[in-house]
Every structure is written in structure tokens, then in C-alpha cells.
Amino acid sequence: MRQRTLALFAVMVVLLYGVDWLALGHASWEMLGVRVIWALSMVLTALGMRRARPLQARLISASYGVVAALCYLGLVAFGGGTRSGYFSFFPALPLIVAMASTETFGAGLTCGIVSALGGGSMMLAAGESLLAAFLWSLVMVVLMFFGMHGGLQFRKVRSAENEALLERSRREALEKLAESERRRAQSEKLATIGRLAASVAHELNNPIAYVRSNLVFLEREVLLAAGGSRAELSEALRDVNAGVERIRQIASDLRNFSHMDETEEPSRCVLAEVVQDAARLASVRLKHVARLQVEVPSELPEVHVVRRRLAQVILNLLVNAGDALEGHSRGDGEIRVLARAEGEFVQLLIEDTGPGFPEEVLSRLFEPFFTTKGPEKGTGIGLMLSREYVEQFGGTLTAANREEGGARLCILLPTRPSSPAQSAPSLRALAGSTAADSQRRTAASRSASGASA
């Protein structure tokens, strides 16, 4: 039984003593005592059900059904027996108790049995026939089962409503989570674009300047017919076309990068083309910071990724490398992008000649909102999002320091569709081994170059 229902019934049972006075025409202390005992049993049942275990709850409920039936029998007995007006309402008692006890069947069952036996015995004691007493008890039992059935249906309806509410809450939570992920990814894109904005403006000013300069020259040569050299005129037209194409390419790269791609599915892509797209956009930021060298063979196996998201990852890593080199190099910084096949995967390395990662920072690089940059340069979610994107493709992203100095980011990408959850452990191991191999090859290459020199 619900605690509030029992508390309300307890108050009503005592207040209905006024009905006893109207029915009998005088005060009956016995009936008041029965009502107080009944109310106390309700209060004790409510307190006992609060912390009871399932088995204990069934026993308490069954005990209350017995007490409720005995208390009502007491009211009937002190109110005039079978001639009392309360006896006519006796069949309603098991129905009410069963309907109120929606959690268990114990109260309705025991109340119905005790009421049927007690009421039948009272009728026999009053001189009624055995058949009449039996039929009356049978009615009590039938009403008890109706009450129990109604309580069961109520329980099913309430359970279905709770499940529907839970499912709706879960669906709303998933929708909010998806929207949050979408906004988080877009905010990181906007943060990256914001860091590129100043360099983009500077980069656009250069082609615009020589486009305007050459337009002036063309106007002077063509409109004024000054007899200029055709070679000079052809060169000016080429400069104009190159400047316009550069402006168009920068605008196109920014538009493609900022385009939302949450609905895209992984597909086969040529890694060299993806790296070229990211490097072209990153060059705007890196042009005056470091030399960017890309060594990604076009004959590498195609990778199975979402192209724009992989471009975002590479761009983010290149911009991070540029931020690390800025202030730590005197124009001689270098960023290298290397790639090679590794079995069923393709390894992509992004290395720089900067200060590298401090040991206390290396273990926290991919934590949300962790950054060593100032608030104007980083949000602390770029590397975390990059790792999430790569793992969504079925690959891994790891970070390490180069033996010769600087940082190295290693991306392993699958050449065919795979399950990220199943492939992640082996990929991380492969990432560690291939990164170590790359370090040894780099060192050996430098030693060989020194010996040949």
C-alpha cells in the first residue's frame, strides 16, 4: 500500500466515528477503540513498508489485511451484528483493500478470506441458514478477486506508464547528447577557424594586391594602347588568374572545412588528397612560422574514413604544431607529414622540431578541456575530438616525443571497415611499435646522411 493512502485512510477511519454516533444514537467507546486500533495499524503498516524488503513487505501487507477485516468485524459486532447498517457494506471491504493494495496481493487476499469466514460465522450465529451464509461468503470471495484483478491491472498500467516515461527520458537524453556533441564539434571548428582568421586575411591581401596592380597595368596597356609588350601582358594575365584562383581556393577550403558532417558515413578516400586539403588550409597559418613538408605517397592504399573529419583532425594537429613552434623557433622550424602502409592500416605521422611535450603533460593530452595554451589560442577539446574522430573510423591517435627533439603524433587508419571497439587495443600496440620503428629509421637515416657527407 502507498504510505500516503494509508495515512489518509487512518484519519478517515477515526473521523467516521461521527457516523457511528448517528447510526446508534449514542456514543460507543468500544467502536471508538476499534477505530483507533484500526488507524494505528494503518500507521504502523505505512512505517513498516517504508524500509521493508520484498518478502517483509508481503508479510506486512498480509497482516494488515487480517487486522482490517477483524476491525471491521468488531464495528459490525458492536454496532448491532447482522442487523447493523455496517453489515450491508461488509462486501465492499475486501474490494477496497485489494484496490488500495496495488503493490502486493497479500492484504486483499487475507482481508477477503477473514471477512468471508467472519461474516459467514456471524450470519450462522444470528440464525441464518447455512446456504445463505455460504452465498454471502461466496460474494465476499468474488468481490475479493475482482479487487485483486483491478489492482493487478492498475499495476500493469502504471508499470507501462513508467516504462514509457523512462523511454522518453532516455530518448530525450540521447537527443540532447547528440546535439551537445554536434555543438562541441562545431565549436572546435570555429575555434580553429578563429585562429586561422588573421593569417587568412593576410594571405588574401597578397593576391588581391597583385590582382589590383595587374588590373591597373592591363587598363593602361589595353585601353590606352601604349604598345606594351605582349609578353608582359600575358604575364600580367597569368598573375591575375593565379591570384583569383588562390582567393577562390582559400574560400573553398574554409567553406568545406566549416561544413557540418555529422550525417556522413565513412567511405574510401585517398589519404594524399585529404592531407593535401588540410595542408593547403594550414599553410595559411604556418607560412610565416615553419616549413611544411608533406611526404604522403599517392599510391598508398585508400583509407576508410569520413573525409572532412579526417581533414579536420590533420588540420588541427598541424595548427597545434604551428602554435608549438611559434616563439620557440627563429624561422627555421619544420613540420613534416609522413605516411606509409602498415599491413591492413596506413600510418600517418605529423612531426615538428618544436620543444615537444613535457612529461607531466604527455599523459593528459587527450583529457577534455586540458590545454597548455592561453584562452585566446585553445579550448582544450581539439585533441580529444581528434582522437574520438579517429577511433570512430576504427583507428587510433597517439602522441610521443621524438628522440631528436620535437613532438610526434601518430595516426593509424584502417584500409577497410572495422569495429573501433574490437580493433582499438591492437591498434594502440601497433601505433607504439610503428612509432618506435619510425624513430629508429629517422635516426639511422640521419646517421647515414652524416657518414656520406
What is the reported pLDDT for 439? 47
Q: What is the pLDDT of residues 305-314, one digit of tens each?
A: 888 888 888 9
What is the reported pLDDT for 426? 47
What is the reported pLDDT for 278? 86
> What is the bridge-based pairing of β-strands 396-401 and 407-414?
antiparallel
Q: Given a cut of 70, is residue 251 above it in pLDDT?
A: no
Q: What is the pLDDT of residues 37-85, one digit of tens each?
A: 988 888 888 788 777 787 888 888 888 888 888 888 888 888 778 877 7
What is the reported pLDDT for 195? 58
Q: What is the pLDDT of residues 133-163, one digit of tens each?
A: 888 888 888 877 777 777 677 777 778 888 8
Q: Given a cut of 50, is residue 447 above it in pLDDT?
A: no
What is the reported pLDDT for 244? 74
Share of the chain above pLDDT 90, in %: 7
Nearest-10 Cα torsion for 253, 256, 260, 266? -110
Q: What is the pLDDT of residues 367-391, one digit of tens each?
A: 766 666 654 555 556 787 788 888 8
For residue 30, give the nearest of 21, 22, 41 by alpha carbon. Answer: 21
User: Cell 454471502 maps to which residue?
Assistant: 136
421 vs 39, higher pLDDT: 39
What is the reported pLDDT for 88? 77
What is the reported pLDDT for 425? 46
Tell me which amino acid residue 133 is. A
288 vs 267, higher pLDDT: 267
What is the reported pLDDT for 188? 63
Mean pLDDT of the chain: 75
Share of the chain above pLDDT 70, in %: 71
- Mean pLDDT to the nearest integer, 96-104: 68
Q: Given a cut of 90, is residue 410 above it in pLDDT?
A: yes
C-alpha cell at 214: 595587374
C-alpha cell at 295: 611526404
For residue 310, give the nearest of 356, 256, 363, 354 by alpha carbon. Answer: 256
Lowest-confidence region among 30-44, 233-247, 436-450:
436-450
